[in-house]
Amino acid sequence: MTDLLWLVIALPLFGATINLLFGKRIGEPISGWLGLGFVGLAWAIAVPATLSLVSGSAHPETIYLFSWIPAVGADIAILWDPLAALMTMIVTGIGSLIHLYSIGYMRGDERYPRYFAFLNLFIASMMMLVLAANYAMMFIGWELVGLCSYLLISFWFTKPSAAAAGKKAFIVNRIGDWGFLVALMIVFASFGTFDFGAIFASGPTVITVGTATAITLLLFVGAVGKSAQIPLYIWLPDAMEGPTPVSALIHAATMVTAGVFMIARSAVLFEMAPVTGAVVAIVGTATALLAALIAIAQTDIKKVLAYSTISQLGYMVLGVGVGAYTAGVFHLTTHAFFKALLFLGAGSVIHAMADEQDMRNMGGLAKKMPITFITMGAAWLAISGMFPFSGFWSKDEILGATFARGGGFVVLWLIGLLVALLTAFYMTRLFVMTFMGKARWSEDVHPHESPASMTIPLVVLGFFTVSAGFVNTPVRLAFEHFLETSFEGVPHIEGLSFGLFSALAGVTLVVATAGIVWGWHKYSRAELPAEDGTFWQRSRAAFGVDDFYGRTIVAPGRKASEWAAETMDTKVLDGTAHGVGSGIRGLGDVLARFQTGQVRGYAGGVAVAGVVLIVVFLVVGGGI
């Protein structure tokens, strides 16, 4: 079974090529079904291999495909272990559902086949990242997903804001990638290879704590870019310019989780550097708090979801920062389900409301769109951390692990609790403003339920949103056992006693319920509350972070580039080129005076030269 695993990368790649080359000829619905078929086939191929890992009948293995750069020991090889299998299932499974959804959502778009080609390419790149057996291959996948996110965010590139958003995403990602690349250099300098097996086996013996700290901090810089943490989160809200299924796939379920995945993969290295762990946890918590504060005042439904993604990513980063890798990955999994559901549901709402995205113009959609209403309701409860939905279990595991670390981490636990309150509050606000209350839309909008191709994925995701939590309850840590073999060599955090866990979970539950009640009470009145205070205005403007970057980083950069273009290029470089030309011409003018045209002059020159040469030969030859 594992022999066929290379197809998981190759099939979507093939699908992308077909749609790129022949898309126009294949035409509208078929290119979409083709894209769905390739990804679905990849999922189907991965299922038996995953099941045999789950049942314990197979062991993790490395499947060698071919040699890429022998000099640095970088091969193209697949590391198939539980962590990779889990990510494969998430990416191909949710990816297939989103392909299905897109077939209906993107109907009528003039670059329909191109969209599916990019989507397939994204799945292929993400698979390469996830299945990589060495850092070099992971980096290829890392860069490719960045490229695909650029292509997909700026899919409607004729809109200037979309083109700018795509550029912003790519450039900010690149800043993170710089950190990743420097980390790779240090890894190679210390270990001489990129292979995961070799590095993790010899880690504690080969490098010092200082080197490990350097490597992990730089790897975290890469994760900060890709997983939208402070200070490189600014691309994610702008990325909402892309089509909503793209937001669901890339910015909720898969690509942004690549950073968390990479940290989990490098767990052995992170365990060697406690300083980095603390930094990671603090950055994650701060991001979660800041994003939650911004999400409160947003009026665009997709922007709320974007900031909520950043906030939940903060949770995941906090989880892996305190060493609870399985908890972080567990939240990654549950978040993939309910966030994708939220985005697809939002897409369904936007589609029904004829591309209206402002929540102040919605309301009362519950009766018009029942399936969307129910599934989004499930997701809302999950993200707010309600028992027994999946979000409850995963969020509490992270918070429990943070508390268990003790010391300064209790402060982080408190902030995490505050973020849970805020999350419940703003998600309730979103839900109530969209689905409950009085209808606030104008007469010419006719909301209706979306077609089956869009609602079926919603239902499937809804099912997982409700049930996915049960794989890792404290009484039955099946998920953690499943991932054990991926985290060999990582010290296991002392599990909380059942009593302590229940107590902490209870606290979280109370806080979340308080948030929901507060939100419901505030927003289900007849008139929407005016959100006008200073806090509301600052929050709506995302606390001016983008402007700050614009003033401090972008403006000097633009000045430097203008200087380079006008002064350097025009004056110095062009001047040099022209100067050389005119210099040579001047020299030519001087030399031209020797060409008198007088034959006798030339003859005289020959005669004189003859004499000189004879003398030279005599002297040199030793005749004289």
Partner 1 sequence: MAEAIVFIIFAAVALVGAVSMVSASNPVYSAMGLLTSMFAIAVLYVVLDAHFIAAVQVIIYAGAVMTLFLFVIMLIGVDKSDAYGTQVPLQRMMTAIVAVGLFGAIALAGRAAWITGSNAFGTPGLNGTAEAIADELFGTWMVVFLSTVMLLTIAAIGTIALAYFKGAPDAEVAE
Partner 2 sequence: MTITITWFLLLAAALFSIGVAGVLIRRNALVMFMSIELMLNAVNLTFVAVSNELGLIEGQVAALFVMVVAAAEVTIGLAIIVAVFRTRSSANVDELAEMKG
624 binds partner 2 (CB under 8 A): no
Cα–Cα distance, 174 to 225 (Å, whole number): 7
Judged by beta carbon, residue 275 or residue 603, the one nearer partner 2 is: 603
Structure tokens at 37: 């078929």
Q: Is 265 in contact with 371 (CB distance < 8 Å)?
A: no
Instruction: State the minimum distance, in angstroms, from the CB of residue 592 to partner 1.
Output: 18
Separation of alpha carbons 434 and 365, rounded Å:
7
Q: CA Rg, the chain, in Å? A: 30
User: In this structure, are residues 121 and 12 in contact, taking their beta carbons and an 8 Å threshold?
Assistant: yes
Helices (H), 192-300: 196-206, 209-226, 235-238, 244-248, 257-265, 267-271, 274-295
Instruction: State which H helix or E strand residue 476 sits in.
Output: strand 476-477
Query: What six digits make up the tokens of 127?
Result: 């698979």
The amino acid sitting at 391 is: G
Q: How near is the Cβ of 623 to partner 1 at its closest, in Å?
A: 3
Candidate residues 57, 598, 620, 622; the one interacting with partner 2 per rule CB under 8 A: 598
Asked whether the beta carbons of 17 and 84 are under 8 A apart, the reply is no
Residues contacting partner 1: total by CB under 8 A: 14
Contact region with partner 2 (CB under 8 A), list: 129-137, 351-359, 533-541, 599-607: 599-607
Minimum CB–partner distance for residue 590 and partner 1 (Å): 19
Using rule CB under 8 A, residue 598 touches partner 1: yes
For the chain, the straight-line distance linking the first and the last C-alpha, in angstroms and rounded, comes to: 92
Q: Would you count residue 611 as binding partner 1 (CB under 8 A)? A: yes
Using the rule CB under 8 A, which residue among 491, 499, 597, 623 binds partner 2? 597
Site for partner 1 in 472-531 (CB under 8 A): none
According to the binding rule CB under 8 A, does residue 610 interact with partner 1?
Answer: yes
Q: Does 602 bind partner 1 (CB under 8 A)?
A: no
To the nearest whole angstrom, how small is the minimum distance from the Cβ of residue 583 to partner 2? 19
CB of 561 to partner 2, least distance (A): 47
Site for partner 2 contains 604 (CB under 8 A): yes
Whether residue 84 contacts residue 134, with contact meaning beta carbons closer than 8 Å, is answered with: no
Considering only the stretches 9-17, 65-73, 471-479, 592-600, report the one whose residues sit in contact with partner 2 under the rule CB under 8 A: 592-600
Q: Which of partner 1, partner 2, none lies near 621, with the C-beta cut-off 5 to 8 A by kind?
A: partner 1
Supply the DSSP string of 555-588, one letter for each residue. Answer: HHHHHHHHHIIIIIIIIIIHHHHHHHHHHHHHHH
Q: State how far the Cα of 580 lies from the Cα of 574, in Å rounded to an integer.
A: 10
615, interface contact from partner 1, partner 2, none, CB < 5-8 Å by kind = partner 1
Type and span of the H or E element at 457: helix 452-467
Interacting partner of 577 out of partner 1, partner 2, none (Cβ under 5 to 8 A depending on kind) = none
Q: Is 470 in the site for partner 1 (CB under 8 A)?
A: no
Answer yes or no whether residue 608 interacts with partner 1 by CB under 8 A: yes
Q: Which member of 209, 564, 568, 607 binds partner 1 (CB under 8 A)?
A: 607
C-alpha distances (whole Å) from 305 to each of 228, 250, 339 are: 14, 13, 8
Interface with partner 2, residue 585, by CB under 8 A = no
CB of 595 to partner 1, least distance (A): 15
Q: How many CB atoms lie within 10 A of CB 17?
A: 14
| Pair of tokens at residue 491 | 């010290």
| Residue number with CB closer to partner 2 (25 or 593) | 593
**623 lies in the binding site for partner 2 (CB under 8 A):** no
Q: Which stretch binds partner 2 (CB under 8 A): 164-172, 322-330, 551-559, 589-597?
A: 589-597
Residue 608 beta carbon to partner 1: minimum distance, rounded to whole angstroms: 6
* Contact call for residue 615 and partner 1 (CB under 8 A): yes
- 3-class secondary structure, 79: strand
> Shortest distance, CB of residue 559 to partner 2, whole angstroms?
50
| Cis geometry, peptide bond prior to residue 388 (ω within 30 degrees of 0) | yes
281 φ/ψ sector (left φ>0, alpha ψ -120 to 50, else beta): alpha
Give the binding site for partner 2 (CB under 8 A): 592, 594-600, 603-604, 607
Give the binding site for partner 1 (CB under 8 A): 598, 600, 604, 607-608, 610-611, 614-615, 617-618, 621, 623-624
